[in-house]
Chains A and B, each alone.
Chain A
Amino acid sequence: MTVLSEILPAAPEIFLAIATMILMMIGVFASQERAMRIVSSLAVLAILVTMGISVLQGQTTLIAFNGLFVINAFTVFTKVLVLLGSLLTLIISQDYARREHMAQFEFPILILFATVGMMMMISANDLISLYLGIELQSLSLYVIAAFQRDTVRSSEAGLKYFVLGALSSGMLLYGCSLIYGFAGTTQFAQLTETFHENGEASLGVVVGVVFLTTGLAFKVSAVPFHMWTPDVYEGAPTPVTAFFSVAPKIAAIALFVRTMIGPLNGLVADWQQIIIAISIASMTLGALAAIAQSNIKRLMAYSSIGHVGYALIGLAVGTEAGVHGILVYMSIYLAMNIGTFTCILSMRRNGQAVEGIEDLAGFGKTHPRMAFAMLVFMFSMAGIPPLAGFFGKLYVFLAAIQSGLFTLAIIGVVTSVIGAYYYLRIIKIMYFDESVETLDRQTARPVGFVMAIAAFVTIFFIIWPTPVINSAAVAAAALFPG
């Protein structure tokens, strides 16, 4: 009985991990042509079941494995987002994988392992389990970044990601060890107490926190630790880029929030300035650097850097409203980003995938529906009401204004105007320019389906925002007991 209650909170992770291993066996023994299809479908099913278990766990706070692992409303909410990201990626990647000769069953398996890692990150309640989660996630991601073994770009992306990712993991680990050394524990609960009691942190702890923040900033690709992002996004196969831009990002943001608001909350004065600085830097770089891009995946990399900057406003505020803002922002970001990538996945000419922004010329005439979806996503990313993206920005700016961080808010809105330029540029190319060569017409049905759903959510969020906003509010409240 006691054993069961100890492991039950981790039921979704355990289920997904076991399911993944079973799927691996199935993949090995199934015939080669069918392996990918079977494993993918089962992987989708496994994720759905995991999501179901997560939701059923409810919103009570439970601690497992002697304090290494925690679930509460916050972890459930973010896990559902991550699982949704993985699920949608799996659905939209099948067609691409088949065409681009990367239809090996290891692909869904690796996505599932990465997902387990992300869920572990979200639920980590100890610096050790935090690191375990990050590494399980990262190692799987390094491999899928290089999944197109035969193309140089993909291999390069994987290698680059690995080298820089390992470096950041090292820094993170170094930070953890410093914190451990000066605070005497790795448990979040005890760290929280220690830092709350003596608000003055010793120099060693501060240095540790800085390293830890650096490592986490790396994982969310915030400036100045963003250098890997454009290259990896550009080089990795498109479905992988789609995956990178949502699931790991949400997981890393959630982890970032949990570490900063949880154990390090007592040191808010020490880390707040760091977060403000990287938030401003991310927003600015995301807005400016994307202007000159000609590859749409690269552009999306800078765009995601910018979006992380906005989400970090919520963290910089450090209040419940701020966390609420982050969660709303990331939920909306998930919808519009996956949607955008479905469009990018559908960009093909004579069967060949193309990635240039200029290739979209005349898209509005040749593919009216898809172009319309893309238009919706672009305006939404620029934060123009009545589309969903506006509400994400509204909630983070709300938190910033509430806490009196006016400068941050003003920089935020100004960079969002600059950023609007490159989103508009895509619309301009699609609708205002004449096409030279048209893109292929057919879109795989699952991709079109996901695109339609994402567009629907982005457009109609305004009518009934309450479910997302309320559950995000409950989730945020879970981090601020009492």
Chain B
Amino acid sequence: MTEFWPALSMATFFPLIGAIGILTIRGTEEEVARNARWTALWVSLITFIISLFLWIDFDASQAGFQFVERNDWMPELNITYHMGIDGISMFFVLLSTFLTPICVLASWEAIKTNVKEYMISFLILETMMVGMFCALDFVLFYIFFEGVLIPMFLIIGVWGGPRRVYAAFKFFLYTLLGSVLMLLAILTMYFEANTTDIPTLMGFGFSADLQIWLWLACFASFAVKVPMWPVHTWLPDAHVEAPTAGSVILAGVLLKMGAYGFLRFSIPMMPLASEFFTPLIFTLSIIAVIYTSLVALAQEDMKKLIAYSSVAHMGIVTVGVFAMNQQAVQGAIVQMLSHGVVSAALFLCVGVVYDRIHSRDISSYGGLVNRMPKYSLVFMLFMLASIGLPGTSGFVGEFLVLVGLFQVNTLVATLAATGMFLGVAYMLYLYRRVIFGKLTKEELFTILDLDRREIAIFAPLVLVVLWMGIFPNSFLDPIDASVARLIENYHFALATGEGVSDVLSATLLAGAQR
């Protein structure tokens, strides 16, 4: 089916066309708002359907890139418009297109001002996200990667909470500083390899000492995005101040950009440096897992708590990615997908009560189960999925990462498991304080349970979480071949290439002799 039309370009640019369509809506403020909402919903749903075809037509047995499109773009620099997906990126495209309609629905009533502009920002954001996961040219990737900043900056800044200006600036400048360094790495690669084509660069084999610099420059960018400790501080601010749907996209998709970058660029293009820096990644990730879990335990603000839990979960992902064996990497990818859905859902859960009470403080809630049984059930499911209860999506990812990690480094695996234990503590603690107990607060006496729109938002998320937990193979199979090839190439490069540590010690030796 998809061989007849450029599926990836359609999935990428259809939201943009929709955004232009919304731009032309005229009429009274109310009409504009209503039409903008419906257009955005339909456009994002159609995009989701287009991306479903990608999954259906995806050939899981093939490790290479599929649905490849290639056109001249800047021929004098040998930069092409090159799109394609493999097992690693396919589900991220789906995750982006899946979450966007949910975000549109979640903003249905919460956003009352500038609805048109809001929906345009979201659709442009979707274009950037999908394009980024599909791009097979480094410059193209970079354009999408940075382009995400523009709509996200506006979403946080215009529709955010009281400290939105600070949060938006911090988000923007932090991520920008990381990415410009990556730009220099891209240019350096370009002059080494004379191309920015990602598949070509993957097999190029940069010299070991160059790899170190390239890796560090890319690390600056990806580590901020992940975010890894200690550059995670923008995340709690951005999450707390962003509107609910902004947090959903931020946690659901944008955080995956960093880890995706490691998988797509750092490891295949700079395998020697990746091996050299693995202890650094392990250390930072373990600190992130344990430290941010402890920080989360002390939070009074629900969104902040979930934000810190995101940092901890992404720590598990990064150790998994750099453990570099089949289970761990596959686990890391599944963990990212799971976290994308679960943390998005948790933010939506916070959004539900925030829309009613306009407070994110844990202390202003309590005993919600008495008035909101459906809500409590949904919240519980996602809370348990976040903890990693068997049968939910969270379990599959964490389990696979730990299994893989155990073979590589027992100590790191043990410490990571400790972090998960702390995760149980803060999530249960949160749940107890918000949901259980006596309903004593006056403003909660009249609080209403989920309405139909909110059920429509949560139903697909619940389904996906359970599906991933019960039949993980439908997600693991398409990933399998691409990850296997990634790992094979990585170990091959390590076996044939002169290790970075050899080069470094040789350089140091030469320096000492001089």
Contacts and interface: CB of A to CB of B under 8 A. Distances in A.
Given A397-B183, A416-B180, A424 B169 contact: yes
Contacts of B147: 384-386
A401 B189 CA distance: 10
Contact of B143 (A390, A398, A431): A390
B372 interface: no
B142 interface: yes
Interface centre among A401, A402, A414, A473 (most CB of B within 10 A): A401
A66 interface: no
B425 interface: no
B146 A432 contact: no
B143 A402 contact: no
B467 interface: no
Summarize A's interface: helix, strand, loop or mixed: helix
Interface in A454-468: 462, 465-466
Interface in B241-262: none
A432 B165 contact: yes
A461 to B, nearest CB: 11
Interface in B128-154: 139, 142-144, 146-147, 149-150, 153-154
Nearest to B142: A385
Contacts of B74: 465-466, 469
A462 B16 CA distance: 15
Interface string A404-441: 00100110011011001100100110011000000000
Given A431-B158, A466-B75, A469-B76, A417 B168 contact: no
B203 to A, nearest CB: 22
A202 to B, nearest CB: 36
Contacts of B75: 466
A424 B157 CA distance: 11
A417 B76 CA distance: 28
Summarize B's interface: helix, strand, loop or mixed: helix
A417 B150 contact: no
B389 interface: no
Given A390-B143, A424-B172, A473-B76, A413 B149 contact: no
Contacts of A427: 153-154, 157
A470 interface: yes
A430 to B, nearest CB: 10
Contacts of A384: 146-147, 149-150, 176
A398 B184 CA distance: 8
A37 B388 CA distance: 75
> 9 closest A-B pairs (Cβ-Cβ)?
A413-B180, A385-B143, A401-B187, A417-B177, A432-B157, A385-B146, A386-B143, A417-B176, A386-B147
23 contacts: A365-B114, A384-B176, A385-B142, A385-B147, A386-B144, A386-B147, A394-B139, A401-B187, A401-B188, A401-B190, A409-B187, A413-B184, A414-B177, A414-B180, A417-B176, A421-B173, A427-B153, A431-B157, A432-B157, A432-B168, A462-B143, A466-B74, A469-B76
Given A385-B147, A432-B157, 5 more contacts: A394-B139, A409-B187, A421-B169, A427-B153, A462-B143
